[in-house]
């Protein structure tokens, strides 16, 4: 099985608790993936020869920023692209947003995904998204705005583009996933999004409790995934079923 992308759900902790959170995240002080574990999994995947991208998601992964920066430094040495999916809770001020992203970029971060829609912005001010977006643009970090369309939504692509004073381009296919046109918006344009988009490429999701699943979409729910095993007590090779049986 050619493994191209690893997505670490670093924690299901989050500073907020949205009404329809797919991972049921919130301020739980629950389990999280530490840097030595993630680095070990990356190295196991890297020797298989196809790994190109590491994604940090959650919950809110930047609650574990120290762990992520350690992993980014290692992933950069391996020549891997990296992405953080975040609600921008850390971007309360333009200066704070800039320095957070600068630190992550210096550790090796390639791309950032900002979750932004009516549901998230019930709890996270839209100004935080703007601060993060502007900081990323100043630093030359490509941004994907992850927006779930909803009937009668206030925050639409047009609304957000006006608010951010830019044009957001629709991006129909991201990270090996076939998405509906208009669900996803990228800045500066989809062509800048360097992660693999080929639908034949394999994504593995690792939960905060080290359960591993193969996923056919960006969602982390069990229904969208095939459970494989647990990396807390199995090697990646065993989880992927790649170990040769002796005859």
Enumerate binding residues for ligand SF4 (CB under 6 A): 14, 16-18, 21, 23, 25-26, 58-60, 87, 115, 120
DSSP 31-49: -B--HHHHHHHHHHHHTTS
Q: Given the structure tokens 């062509």, which residue do they identify?
A: 191
Nearer to ligand SF4, 21 or 237 (CB): 21
Nearer to ligand SF4, 21 or 214 (CB): 21
Q: How far is the CB of 22 from ligand SF4 (least distance, A)?
A: 7
Q: How far is the CB of 215 from ligand SF4 (least distance, A)?
A: 17
Question: Helices (DSSP H) in the chain: which residue ranges?
Answer: 35-46, 65-77, 94-107, 126-139, 157-164, 236-239
Nearer to ligand SF4, 24 or 243 (CB): 24
Kind plus residue range of the DSSP H or E element containing 8: strand 3-9
Q: How far is the CB of 65 from ligand SF4 (least distance, A)?
A: 15
Nearer to ligand SF4, 10 or 236 (CB): 10
Task: Give, in order, the Cα–Cα distances in Å from 112 to each of 60, 61, 133.
Answer: 13, 12, 9
Q: How far is the CB of 159 from ligand SF4 (least distance, A)?
A: 19
Nearer to ligand SF4, 18 or 38 (CB): 18
Would the CA dihedral through 22, 125, 71, 31 be positive or negative? negative
Q: How far is the CB of 232 from ligand SF4 (least distance, A)?
A: 22
Nearer to ligand SF4, 51 or 84 (CB): 84
Q: How far is the CB of 101 from ligand SF4 (least distance, A)?
A: 18
Rounded Cα distance, 181 and 193, in Å: 16
Q: 201 in helix, strand or coil?
A: coil
84 CB burial (10 A radius; 0-12, 13-18, 19+)? buried
Cα angle value 70/6/234 (rounded, 5°): 90
């Amino acid at each position: 099985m050619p493994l191209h992308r690893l997505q670490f759900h670093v924690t299901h902790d989050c500073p907020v608790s949205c009404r329809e959170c797919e991972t049921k995240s919130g301020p739980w002080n629950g389990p999280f993936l530490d840097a030595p574990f993630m680095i070990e999994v990356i190295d196991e995947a890297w020797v298989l020869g196809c790994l190109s991208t590491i994604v940090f998601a959650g919950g809110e992964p930047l609650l574990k920023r120290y762990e992520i920066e350690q992993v980014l430094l290692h992933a950069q040495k391996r020549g891997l692209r990296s992405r953080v999916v975040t609600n921008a809770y850390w971007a309360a001020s333009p200066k704070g947003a800039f320095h957070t992203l600068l630190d992550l970029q210096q550790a090796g971060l390639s791309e950032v995904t900002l979750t932004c829609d009516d549901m998230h912005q019930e709890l996270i001010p839209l100004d935080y998204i703007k601060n993060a977006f502007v900081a990323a643009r100043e630093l030359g970090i490509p941004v994907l705005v992850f927006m779930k369309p909803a009937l009668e939504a206030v925050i639409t692509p047009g609304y957000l583009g006006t608010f951010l004073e830019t044009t957001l381009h629709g991006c129909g296919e991201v990270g090996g996933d076939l998405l509906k046109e208009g669900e996803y918006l990228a800045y500066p344009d989809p062509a800048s999004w360097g992660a693999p988009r080929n639908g034949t490429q394999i994504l593995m999701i690792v939960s905060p409790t080290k359960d591993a699943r193969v996923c056919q979409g960006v969602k982390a729910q069990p229904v969208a995934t095939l459970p494989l095993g647990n990396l807390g007590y199995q090697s990646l090779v065993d989880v992927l079923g790649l170990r040769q049986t002796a005859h």
